Structures are given as structure tokens and as C-alpha cells.
Structure 1
Amino acid sequence: MDRPTVEAYDKGARAYADDWHAQPTPTDLHDLIRRFFHRASTADIGCGSGREVAWLNAHGCPAIGYDASPGLLAEARRRYPELQFAAAALPQLDGVARDAFDNVLCETVIMHLPPDEIAAAVRALVSLLKPNGVLYLSWRVTRDAGQRDNSGRLYAAFDSAHVRDALQGMTMLLDEEVVSASSGKVIHRLVARRPASS
């Protein structure tokens, strides 16, 4: 992960968590999870303060949350002490079991990576899936050139074709650019299924 971005999340972990939990419920995301995910083991990569990990666990998708920010993980554990969270960072995802999950959720995370790390990060997400597993992947769309916000968080600009190329061999179930019901930002989201044998 981009180090200044992780540091920004660490420094402002409580404020970011409060903001995310105050946002409208991401009903569009939840509808897609209900539509595409198996009711089975799930990894939330870039789980932030744990909001979606809690929702997944409450809706039949037992989930573990992973994040690169110690500050956000502390917020997640404070808010949801009964749930499981662990440290892991894209693109490597060291310490996360491969071929172990029926579903992987990665909601608006990869735009915080330098563009030359995005393909490797997508391949790492795919590697977590069991055969026939489903990946939900989204990112906030930045046009033309990457930028940083006032806190120093990176929002990389990259061609969505790089993501699709890294998903070669997967079955694409959804590919769309929309306005997020929760954040109000333009996001690109993909849902893809790993082959039953690969």
C-alpha cells in the first residue's frame, strides 16, 4: 500500500470510522453481495473500521476483515470485539491464506495503490478464492491523473483494462461504473467468478 495513505488512515482513524458509519447504508453493495456471493467464508480486504465485516457476518457470509492500517484495525476491534480482524496489505497480502475463501470483497481500496502495483494486487485477491469463488472489486474513479487529498491519501488514475487483464480466466458477472449509494462518489465495480477448476 501507499505509505502516506496508510499513515493518513492511522492518524485519522477515529474520524474516518465515524464518517463511514455516519454515511447512508450502502444498499447497492449489499444488494450485489446478496445477488452474487456464496453464503460462506468471506475475506474483506481493506475492511477499514469493520462496517461491512459486521454486515457480512450478520447476513450469512462469515467474514474476516483485513487492513493495512493499524489505526483502522484498532477501530474495527473496538466497534466489533466479537469479530475477527487481522493485518494485511496489498499487493502481497502476506499472511492471508490462499485458495481459502468462497468470497472476497475489496471495496474502494485499490485506488490507494501506485498504478504499477494494481495488477499484482488484483491477482493476489484472486489467489485467495477457492474454485468457483466470487470476487467483488471496486475503486473510486479518478480521471486523467492521480491525486492526493488534503490528508495525503493517494487516489490513483488508471485504465480499468489493467484490472480486467489481471482477471483473465475469470468469468465476469458484473462490470459497471456507478455513483456509490453510500459515499456519493463515482466508483467502478466488477464481480468475477473463479473457474470451478483452475
Structure 2
Amino acid sequence: MDQQTIETYSASADRFAAEWRDQPPPTDMYALLQRYFAPGGETADIGCGAGRDVAWLNEHGFPAVGYDAAAGLLAQATTDYPSLHFRRAELPSLDAIPSGSYDNLLCETVVMHLPPEEVTQACARLFEILRPKGTLYLSWRVTESDSARDASGRLYAAFDAARVRDGLRDAEFLLDVEAVNSSSGKKVHRLIARRR
């Protein structure tokens, strides 16, 4: 992960948590998770932020653990959702998570914070964490021009979707579209892939 982005999220975790709470819920993403994720399957949210989606997953029959690279966000998530489980893990290696651990994997708007050359490796590692027949929901903010940092210092990398697909070579693709995220209002690329 881009270290400046991690530091930005950690230092301003309360501000980002409030921003995400104030956004409309991502009902479009939740509908896709209900359609494609295995009910009752063990689930991980990679890049869980302040825990909003981990809470939704647990409330809707997907027992979930949240992982994030930013210590400040993990502290915020633990404060906001004390009964849920949050752990530290960092893309692209995700060393803290054994391969074949989960039935469902959510990675919502995270990989665009990686340097472009790490995207393929990160996606391959996400897929390794799944069990056979497991499902990955992956999305990223689409950056139309060059990679850039926002006013907070977060990296938004520009990369072709082929970098993602290259990391998921043996996948069965169930969805591969660009859309406007109903929560953030930003253009995202959504990909749902099943491990064979």
C-alpha cells in the first residue's frame, strides 16, 4: 500500500469515519453482495475502514472480519463496533491472512490506493485467500488521467482493468462493469469473480 495514504487515513480516522457515515448507504453494492456471496459463508472485508460494511455483512448473514492497514481506522472501527472483529493486514501481501481462509471476500475501493505496479500482485493475493468456489467482490475508483493525490494526500492510481484481470487468471467472472457508486457518487469499476 502507499504509505502516505495509510498515514493519512490513520491521522484523520475520525474525519473519514464521519464522512462515510454521512454518505448514503451503498445499497447497489449491498444488493450485489446479497446476490453473489454465499449465505453464512465466512467473510472478510479487506480495507474495511471504520467498519460500516463489516457491520452490514454481520447483520445480513455473512459473518465477517474486517482488515485494514491503517491503525487509526482499526481503532475507530473497534470503538464504533466493539462486538465485531478487526485486524491489521496490508495489501499487496496480506501476510496476516492464510490462503484459503474465506468463502466471501469484499475489497471495496481500496486497490486504487496501491502503486499501479502492485495491483496485479494484490489481486492474485486476494484470490488466494478465497476457498474453492469462493467469491470476490472487488471495486476501485476509476482515475481517467494520471495517478494523483487528493487534497488529503491519498493516492488515486490510474491503471487499466487488465492489471486486475491478470491477477485473477483462473477466475469465473460473474460481473465486470463500470458504474457510479450510489454512496460516494464516484465512478467505480466493479468486478465479481468466483474461484473455480
Q: Shift in Å at residue 144 of structure 1? A: 2.1
Q: Which runs of 5+ in 2 are unaligned?
A: none
- Aligned partner of residue 133 in structure 2, secondary structure: strand
Greater mean deviation of Cα atoms: 94-103 or 104-113 = 94-103
Partner of 1:34: 34
Amino acid at match of 1:149: D
Partner of 2:17: 17
How do residues 28-67 of structure 1 correspond to structure 2 at under 5 angstroms?
A: 28-39=28-39, 40-67=41-68
Q: Shift in Å at residue 166 of structure 1? A: 1.2
Partner of 1:72: 73
Amino acid at match of 1:80: Y
Partner of 1:140: 141
Amino acid at match of 1:66: Y
Which aligned segments of 4 or more residues in structure 1 are displaced greater than 2 angstroms? none
Aligned length: 195
In the alignment, the residues of structure 2 paired with residue 179 and residue 73 of structure 1 have an alpha-carbon distance, to the nearest angstrom, of: 27
Amino acid at match of 1:26: P
Amino acid at match of 1:38: A
In the alignment, the residues of structure 2 paired with residue 71 and residue 100 of structure 1 have an alpha-carbon distance, to the nearest angstrom, of: 25
In the alignment, the residues of structure 2 paired with residue 162 and residue 93 of structure 1 have an alpha-carbon distance, to the nearest angstrom, of: 18
Amino acid at match of 2:58: N
Amino acid at match of 2:114: L
- Aligned partner of residue 34 in structure 1, secondary structure: helix
CA RMSD of aligned residues (A): 0.5
Q: TM-score when scaled to structure 2?
A: 0.99
In the alignment, the residues of structure 1 paired with residue 12 and residue 108 of structure 2 have an alpha-carbon distance, to the nearest angstrom, of: 19
Asked if 1:157 is matched to 2:158, the reply is yes
CA offsets 1:64-115 (integer angstroms, 9 cap, x no match) = 0000000000010000000000000000001112101000000000000000
Taking only the aligned residue pairs, the percentage that are identical comes to 56
CA offsets 1:116-136 (integer angstroms, 9 cap, x no match) = 000010011001100000000
Q: Which runs of 5+ in 1 are unaligned?
A: none
